[in-house]
Amino acid sequence: RLLSSLLSVFFFSLQAQLEYLLCIAISCLVLAAKNDEDEVIPSVQTLAVQGRCKCSPAEILRMEKIILDKLQWDLYTATPMDFLNIFHAIVMSSWPHLPPGLPQRNPSLHVALLTKQLQHCMACHQLVQFKGSTLVLVIITLELERQTLGWFPVTTDLLKKAQVGS
């Protein structure tokens, strides 16, 4: 749906020359894939070759920037590490009494421990099927359960704030 919307905007509002339509289409495909956390995005080089596009990867990237500028989009894809920092900050700010029960009583060291766990999960091919945000929620929940007696209210509060159902 997003891809067709992007294409519609450019075909009608820019009145692009015919030679650039394939470049616009591939750039829109890249943008639509970047918009979905689950989507695996092939390299621009691969898309140019597989799409039999006469434009170079540099031209595709330039067209992507033009599209973003025209739509006034600031495209940023959150990484699992971003989710880890956000969710950890939510837990620490909402439940300030928790740090005494966490390793070394230091939130920075706790984030380092969680980061190491996240890196192990991201390296495991069986876990690649899950969203980064989901992996982070599981890691934090398991760590809270292991380290803190009152983990359940903290976890349910975090899930509610992250807008995740039970």
What is the mean pLDDT of the segment spanning 107-130?
Answer: 85
Nearest one of 38, 39, 58 to 48, comparing CA atoms: 58
Return the pLDDT at 32.
Answer: 78
Encoding tokens for residue 112? 């380092």
What is the mean pLDDT of the segment spanning 110-137?
Answer: 87
What is the mean pLDDT of the segment spanning 131-154?
Answer: 85
Return the pLDDT at 78.
Answer: 77
Between CA 108 and CA 114 the distance in angstroms is 10
Could you tell me if 9 and 71 are in contact, meaning their C-beta atoms sit under 8 angstroms apart? yes
Place 116 in a pLDDT band, splitting at 50, 70 and 90: very high
Which of 97-101, 128-132, 137-141 is modeled with the greatest confidence?
137-141
Lowest mean pLDDT among 1-15, 30-44, 86-100: 1-15
- Quick: pLDDT tens for 28-70: 888 877 776 556 777 888 877 877 777 888 888 898 888 888 8
What is the mean pLDDT of the segment spanning 113-133?
Answer: 87
- Give me the chain's average pLDDT, please: 78
CA angle in degrees (0–180, nearest 5) for 65-68-71: 150
Between CA 2 and CA 33 the distance in angstroms is 9
Instruction: Give me the DSSP letters along 20-48.
Output: GHHHHHHHHHHHHHHT-TTPPPPPHHHHH
